[in-house]
């Protein structure tokens, strides 16, 4: 996350159910720049379910913010 001086963002990692309901798995606020994956968050995901990032501005001054990195989830396949 860069170009975020003076900006606070609220970032939620959510899971979407088949009934189109959203369950928050993780919620964090980040203020300012975060380089080298310092804004990392890891939670247990649910395989075969849709996951969603909800990013909202908490403060003013967030017009030019850029977010770059890996989005998604990984899970281990069971040993069958």
Structure token pair of residue 37: 């994956």
Q: What is the number of domains present in the chain?
A: 1
On whether residue 77 sits in a domain, the answer given is no
Measured over the CA atoms of residue 68, residue 11, residue 32 and residue 3, the dihedral's sign is: positive
Instruction: Name which of 67, 69, 71 is nearest 9 in CA terms.
Output: 67
DSSP 5: T
In which domain, by residue range, is 49 found? 1-72
**Could you tell me where the DSSP H helices lie in 8-65?**
none
Q: Is 38 left (phi over 0), alpha (psi -120 to 50) or beta?
A: alpha
Tens-place pLDDT, residues 25-56: 889 898 888 876 655 666 766 667 778 888 89
**80 located within any domain:** no
Mind listing the pLDDT tens digit for each residue in 4-31? Answer: 888 999 989 888 888 888 889 889 898 8
pLDDT of residue 16: 85
13 within 8 A of 25, measured Cβ to Cβ:
yes
Is 58 inside a domain boundary?
A: yes
């Amino acid at each position: 996350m860069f170009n975020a001086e003076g900006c606070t963002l609220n970032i939620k990692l959510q899971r979407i159910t088949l009934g189109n309901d959203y369950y928050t798995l993780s919620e964090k606020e980040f203020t300012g720049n975060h380089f080298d994956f310092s804004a990392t968050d890891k939670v247990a995901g649910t395989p075969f379910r849709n996951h969603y990032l909800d990013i909202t501005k908490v403060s003013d001054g967030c017009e030019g913010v850029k977010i770059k990195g890996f989005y998604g989830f990984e899970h281990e396949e069971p040993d069958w």
